[in-house]
Structure 1
């Protein structure tokens, strides 16, 4: 008489083979079932992935190490928008190229401004103008609101609510994912504040390529100077560079930092002529590749404060 357990196992395996993986849902069908959304740039895309989890398929228009200030959309971007149910944007005039892309794509997706509810700070007034005598294109609002973790929590809440509205069946998942992520953001902010506290007050100042850290300055008390304005579209003039060098010498600024989205030559020139040391590379407007030091927003904030502390905490005042 055949072994009864063997018969049962054979029956189960046979049924599984007929039904296919995941009770009849193939991997391809599962991928297609995800809510298709688009985010304008890599930092925002990470927020959406953290909240959306496995229920959401996220396409980032501007990828890792990409510059959202000067991005040129592609036909693939228009195709992604046309298939999306939601399009998440930063707003505050960061994505000047986006309205044309939305129009050309014919998308019916809801447009979600992730900075809704954030009080913008004024962009630092710059004395220079870009090519052709034009200043930056951001108006008076600084778009880099994600540089404050308190603001990042507003992004997350807006994303959570938009996903739940578009996919009511996933509301409990989005709520749980958002709550867990908000707790991680609180822990990260505590690390940032502790690191700043270890830097002597007189050394809490540095130079970056462009003025992307205004919200960080306001939240955490590190003073950043920049020869460029809030957009990389405008080039620093010789007058701006000379002014920054004088400022470094007068205020004894300890370090200058490279940024992942900008040409390093400007900072290298300023360091050479001012005598300030070059600190590490900071991530301002874009994440690194997943294998890099800033593959997620939390990794980015931890990396940045680590580089800032290393460069500013030690050495003569």
Structure 2
């Protein structure tokens, strides 16, 4: 009897391992894309992120372990728009694994200043309608490369898009209720251009995306002057950089420091933004609360 039970257990374990090995595998460049892809994949595919929660994405330095961890992938999903400056060399090490750029089909907003002036702002997933395009691109990529599960991917994508709309739309309505003169989004990095556009906010930032210098005295002084000129009530900063320059602006102008916004990376499971929907909700609620409280 014991031998029979042991044999059955071993056979079940081997079958489970075989199923796991047969499951379609996708690798993404960072955690936000991984979570979006997991929602589309459901149980039909396995999704992993190259970078870890909390990582700074722009200048990431991939390790040999990162390459090894991606070698068994069936598909690579990446953002494009010059976000992953390290990635093209990384991809060449993966020996022909197909890859898909998830920002395809999105009209980019150009970076306004700095050494990257005129290039595309890569943070397109922060726009509400853009996010739906990302989800459609993920579903199409999965369906193309794993056609047996195409219907599952497309159904999951429609469910997930409804969840994105339900998360964002009420918060966008709350911001629209504020006086237009108060609808300013002042941040450390210019990573929120798509969100600002979709929410009807005017944007101000200390440094542009991918800037070589961050938080310089000249950048701080320029933003201080703009905060005073436009009577901007609140300034924010994103989670992967130092908030000290934004806090200095707040101190010197009498504006409120409204807190931390999330854009490039999710947190660990026990953190404030373990999923993309949490990132959208927490970031948008922080903006809404910061500007609303300043009005009172």
Using a 3 Å threshold, how does the CA distance of structure 1 residues 305 and 18 change in structure 2: closer, same or farther?
Answer: same
Runs of 4+ more than 4 Å apart: 14-25
> Are the aligned partners of 1:85 and 1:108 in contact in 2 as well (CA < 8 Å)?
no
The whole-number CA distance in structure 1 between the counterparts of 2:11 and 2:260 is: 44
Q: Residues 1-317 of structure 1 correspond to what in structure 2 (within 5 A)? A: 20=9, 26-103=15-92, 105-126=93-114, 135-136=115-116, 140-231=119-210, 233-316=212-295
SS in 2 for 1:83: coil
Using a 3 Å threshold, how does the CA distance of structure 1 residues 21 and 200 change in structure 2: closer, same or farther?
Answer: farther
> Are the aligned partners of 1:43 and 1:285 in contact in 2 as well (CA < 8 Å)?
yes
The whole-number CA distance in structure 2 between the counterparts of 1:176 and 1:16 is: 39
TM-score w.r.t. length of structure 1: 0.86
> Are the aligned partners of 2:79 and 2:102 in contact in 1 as well (CA < 8 Å)?
yes
> Are the aligned partners of 2:206 and 2:215 in contact in 1 as well (CA < 8 Å)?
yes
TM-superposed CA distance for 1:30, in Å, is 2.9
- Say which is worse superposed, 242-251 or 218-227, in terms of deviation: 218-227
TM-superposed CA distance for 1:315, in Å, is 3.5
**Aligned match of 1:129:** none
The whole-number CA distance in structure 2 between the counterparts of 1:200 and 1:31 is: 53
The whole-number CA distance in structure 2 between the counterparts of 1:21 and 1:114 is: 41
The whole-number CA distance in structure 2 between the counterparts of 1:287 and 1:24 is: 33
TM-superposed CA distance for 1:26, in Å, is 3.6
Deviations, residues 247-296 of structure 1 (Å, cap 9, x unaligned): 11111111111211111222122222222111121002111222222111
Q: Compare CA radii of gyration and give the structure with the larger one.
A: 1
Q: Between Structure 1 and Structure 2, how many residues are aligned?
A: 296
Using a 3 Å threshold, how does the CA distance of structure 1 residues 61 and 170 change in structure 2: closer, same or farther?
Answer: same
> Are the aligned partners of 1:249 and 1:274 in contact in 2 as well (CA < 8 Å)?
yes
TM-score w.r.t. length of structure 2: 0.92
Structure 1: where are the runs of 5+ without partners? 1-9, 127-134
Deviations, residues 98-140 of structure 1 (Å, cap 9, x unaligned): 011112x2332111000111111111224xxxxxxxx24x851
Deviations, residues 165-185 of structure 1 (Å, cap 9, x unaligned): 111111111111111101111
- RMSD value over aligned CA atoms? 2.3
Structure 2: where are the runs of 5+ without partners? none
